[in-house]
């Protein structure tokens, strides 16, 4: 069994003294794990930093085995972000979310494309990285079947004045529609309803709390996944400052 593909590094866990178990998001084979022989060496270690784009070749005798990766660097995105605390935190969080939510070996072309766009936006250095990250999480939720419906109010059908999201259904609700249940609903920042709305202080954190609720409620169930998401928790804390 073997394949060649392009991939983004999600995590690299040391295995023994010299090897590394690489988790990466491949274009055609989904999130895939494999052993990189000598991956902890001085030569290979810089290649396996989170967010780096690789050309990978995976080999195993049987399909269900962990298998071996041979990797070649395509783009060193991590090195571009080491000096930027905010963007580095966003890259860490994005890799953690993918690592924690995606099942192994299930191809997701859209998620790969979205992740590539996000990494390019973060590494590019221009634009609002917080908004780019928040919109990326919304797309991840949608790609995995838990997209939020922010088109109209679930109660009144109104399309203007959407202010909350139901934590159960993920549908938007206006202030009038929420009534006395407003306290039980999740606040919806305007930037998610109106792409032209300016980003207000606190909008990104509020948005991340919203997406975080659905990530935790529906998509995080693998052992150790909660622990992995502490990288995302640190991002939420950072954008709140």
CB of 150 to another protein, least distance (A): 29
108: left (phi over 0), alpha (psi -120 to 50) or beta: beta
11 forms part of the interface with another protein (CB under 8 A): yes
Residue with tokens 């993920």: 170
Stretch that binds another protein, among 28-36, 162-170, 179-187, 233-241 (CB under 8 A): 233-241
Count CB-CB contacts under 10 A for residue 81.
24
89 forms part of the interface with another protein (CB under 8 A): yes
Binding mask 143-162 for another protein (x = CB under 8 A): --------------------
239 forms part of the interface with another protein (CB under 8 A): no
CB of 4 to another protein, least distance (A): 20
End-to-end distance of the chain based on CA atoms, in angstroms? 49
184 forms part of the interface with another protein (CB under 8 A): no
Residue with tokens 């679930």: 154
Stretch that binds another protein, among 141-149, 171-179, 210-218, 229-237 (CB under 8 A): 229-237
CB of 241 to another protein, least distance (A): 8
Pick from 52, 101, 174, 211 the residue near another protein by CB under 8 A. 52
Site residues for another protein per CB under 8 A: 11, 13, 17, 43, 45-47, 49-52, 73, 75-76, 78-80, 82-83, 85, 88-89, 91-92, 96, 227-231, 234, 238, 241
């Amino acid at each position: 069994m073997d394949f060649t593909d392009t991939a983004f590094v999600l995590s690299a866990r040391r295995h023994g003294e010299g090897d590394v178990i690489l988790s990466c998001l491949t274009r055609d084979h989904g999130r895939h794990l494999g052993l990189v022989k000598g991956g902890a060496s001085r030569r290979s270690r810089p290649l396996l930093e989170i967010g780096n784009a690789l050309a990978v070749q995976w080999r195993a005798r049987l399909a269900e085995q962990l298998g071996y990766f041979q990797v070649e660097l395509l783009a060193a995105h991590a090195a571009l972000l080491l000096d930027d605390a905010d963007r580095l935190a966003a890259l860490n969080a994005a890799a953690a979310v993918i690592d924690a939510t995606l099942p192994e070996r299930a191809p997701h072309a859209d998620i790969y494309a979205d992740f590539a766009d996000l990494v390019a936006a973060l590494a590019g250095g221009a634009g609002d990285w917080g908004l780019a990250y928040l919109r990326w999480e919304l797309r991840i939720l949608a790609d995995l079947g838990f997209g939020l419906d922010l088109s109209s109010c679930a109660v009144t059908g109104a399309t203007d004045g959407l202010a909350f999201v139901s934590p159960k259904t993920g549908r938007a609700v206006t202030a009038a529609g929420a009534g006395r249940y407003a306290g039980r609903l999740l606040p919806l920042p305007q930037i998610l309803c109106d792409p032209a709305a300016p980003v207000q202080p606190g909008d990104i954190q509020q948005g991340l709390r919203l997406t975080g609720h659905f990530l935790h409620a529906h998509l995080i169930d693998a052992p150790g996944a909660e622990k992995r998401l502490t990288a995302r928790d640190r991002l939420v804390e950072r954008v709140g400052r």
